[in-house]
Amino acid sequence: MLRVLTLLLLCQLAGEIAARAAGLPLPGPVIGMVLMFGWLAYQGGVDADTGKVAGALLEHLSLLFVPAGVGVVLHLDVIAAEWPAILAALFVSTFAAILAAAATMRWLAPSDGDSAK
């Protein structure tokens, strides 16, 4: 279990170092997640220990939202002042995500030559 937690933290650290060194506009943990995926693909899948640790982390995932909630409460004055822009960004980004998902589905779906009726 300690080996898997160490691997998770090392991937996150490597992602942080890569993001800062290369000046990438991606968060370090996202790069670390890609590195972890690459490692797991290289290993041929998820072993029992990794699955056990991942399951335990997912069971307590809600705890990771506490800092975000504190940040929202801390900046309620900013949210109150900027709510129209925030609301517009939420609607536009949601619509863009739906369009992107639909386009991806259409692109990846097998085509049998029949049009949908």
Same domain, 51 and 87: no
Same domain, 27 and 80: no
Give yes or no for a contact between 9 and 32, defined as CB atoms under 8 angstroms apart: no
Same domain, 55 and 87: no
Same domain, 86 and 108: yes
Kindly report, residue by residue over 36-89, the tens digit of the pLDDT. 999 999 999 898 999 999 999 999 988 888 988 998 999 999 999 999 999 999
Q: Check pLDDT > 90 for residue 110.
A: no
Same domain, 2 and 41: yes
CB atoms near residue 30 (< 10 Å): 13
Q: How many domains does the chain have?
A: 2
Q: What is the token pair recorded at 11?
A: 């991937």
Give me the domain span that covers residue 21.
1-59
Same domain, 1 and 49: yes
